[in-house]
A and B are shown apart, each in its own frame.
Chain A
Amino acid sequence: MSIILGVLEEGLVYAIMALGVYITYKILDFPDLSVDGTFPLGGALTAVLVLAGVSPLTALLLAFVAGALAGCITGIIHVKLKVRDLLSGIIVMTALYSVNLRLAGKSNVPFFNSDTIFENPFINKVIPQGLSDVSVIVILAVIVLIVKILLDLYLKTRSGYLLRAVGDNETLVTSLAKDKGTVKILGLAIANGLAALAGSVYCQQKGFFEISMGTGTIVIGLANVIIGTKLLKRFGAIKATTAVIIGSIVYKACVSIAIFLGMEASDLKIITSALFLGILVISNGREKKVKKHA
């Protein structure tokens, strides 16, 4: 049971970040590497704020704002300074490493005894002791659902439609007399805001910030988005955002199964990747069958 809880915990945290990657990678068609820096940015800021006595909820919001600012910078570098998309992400990601280190003060900042969104007097009062494991999942699920619903609603607004149009057909946006550059910057801001928000949640759950926590974030994000959208493609009615959340949980389930099987420690990664490959191949096969019958 607690393995499933663990998978849900990890999966839901990374789902927040993956929703951001969904915006850049799937909607804007922009491979944005800055999330490797904005995910720990959210964590660093949270550690500092929480230790300074700021409420953990405020820390979440400020993390989002900080991430969004960093995303704007990636966008401005790309749009205004005309730097290639991949490179502008790399520039911001690299710079953020120093920023995060400066911000946190050192590479590892524990705050086990501070209030977090998961452990504070209010939560402890409302939820009985025995259910504290489940409370983490419930809180995470609430956050993920709020983010998902807000994102779904946003994508239906005028600005959201423009965002989608920039990825599909840039000329259309220009012909509507809208600046596609601004739309891109906005998309990057939201995406990196979500990555930083995820970083903040991650740190609050673990009780410490670690500078290396960001390494490979984009890889996880991309895998989550691709696994999710691939796996659930044939369920046409399912929203892509839901698919991404499920993809994140499936990703972490794969890692967990690999650990659970208890193979040689060095083989962990290859088993994980074999599971991914298996999932993608199976979902490919399904797709074809559906087409044949149609």
Chain B
Amino acid sequence: MKKSVKLLVITAIAAAALSACSKAPAKDSAASKEGNYTIGIAQFAEHGSLDNCREGFIQGLKEEGIEDGKNLTIMYENAQADGGTGSQIINNFIAKKTDLICAIATPMAQAAYSGAKKTDIPVIYTAVTDPVAAALAKEDGSSVGEVTGTSDKLPVEKQLEMIRKILPDAKTIGILYSTSEVNSEAAIAEYKKAASNYGFEIVEGPVSATADIPLATDNLLGKVDCLNNLTDNTVVSSLPLILDKAGKKNIPVFGSEIEQVKIGCIAAMGLDYVDLGKQTGKMAAKVLKGEAKASELKYEVIKDAAFYGNTKVAENLGITLPSELTDSAAELFKEIK
């Protein structure tokens, strides 16, 4: 017993010595003088939508006069979808006394809130579909602490309306989603509720890991008229494979945001994650400048969904995108990237 206590102390000292070696540069960056900010960006996983959020966030700050390299130091870390690493990243930001933590995606936002609760570091999140279900906001949208941000809730009704316009005869929509992502479950429930209003039936394709996707896709493609994508991290990461399989069967795949349409989904009524990031960046700027506390800001959602289409994909599938959609499109892609 004594021995083990002693040893624990020794390791603690060793750890202290180790981190002391690399501590010197950190102190400089943490020194936040007036109008000179240090922020930590913690992103849960690596994929297009979340990357866009991050870029938008930095742009949003810049538009408010807080610019990377000038009066802003950015520390960026990615947890590679590992919760344990996520909390260590947050600990690191807290240790470096950043002025603000930006957390991207739900698990990261929860880890950041949980970690920073005891400090006075505000947390601004983005790409959290349902902040209320994630216990980051109260029912009325107000904050539960020094934490606020933006939600990437999907415009489900508008998406279904769009699918109906493009595919007047379709009856079934297949949706692949991973059972490990709470955002997707919420979205599926909403789709199921709204589908009948547009004469659709939703067929679920649940997967528990990336490895299940090929089989689940094959299974689903045999049953449905089209596929629809959520912002599910696991599924989006495997989108090229799904698009390839669907393309061979001539089944259109609808996306939920711009990046998905760029790489080969036929169309999406969706979010622009760069815009979402920008909106988040502006909230962060308010907090950094001291204009408002994070706890005073309600979480925000993007109000307008925009139409994105890919004419090349439509042509390959022998479908014409109706002009009422393309005329008001936020962006039309003529090739598959």
Contacts and interface: CB of A to CB of B under 8 A. Distances in A.
A4 to B, nearest CB: 5
Interface residues of A, number: 58
A4 B15 contact: yes
A249 interface: yes
Contacts of B16: 1, 4
Interface stretch (B1-9, B261-269, B304-312): B1-9
Contacts of B180: 107, 210-212
**Residue among B3, B22, B85, B118 with max Cβ neighbours from chain A (10 Å):** B85
A286 interface: no
Contact of A141 (B8, B43, B179, B208): B8
Contacts, number: 150
A283 B107 CA distance: 36
Contacts of B15: 4, 7-8, 249, 253
Interface string A140-173: 0100010011000000000000000000000000
Contact of A3 (B19, B43, B81): B19
Contacts of A261: 22
Prevailing SS type, chain A contact patch: helix
A128 interface: no
A216 interface: yes
A108 B182 contact: yes
Contact of B75 (A210, A250, A262, A269): A262
Nearest to A252: B88
Nearest to B85: A255
A117 to B, nearest CB: 15
B208 A257 contact: no
A4 B19 contact: yes
A110 B81 CA distance: 18
Nearest to B136: A110
B57 interface: no
Interface in A81-118: 97, 101, 106-108, 110-113
12 contacts: A3-B91, A110-B110, A132-B118, A145-B1, A207-B114, A212-B180, A237-B3, A239-B3, A239-B4, A246-B8, A255-B84, A257-B22
Interface of B: 1, 3-5, 7-8, 11-12, 15-16, 18-19, 22, 26, 43, 46, 75-78, 80-85, 87-89, 91-92, 94-95, 106-107, 110-111, 113-114, 117-118, 133-136, 144, 179-182, 185, 208
CB-CB nearest 9 A-B residue pairs: A6-B91, A110-B135, A265-B78, A108-B182, A3-B95, A2-B95, A242-B4, A211-B180, A207-B114
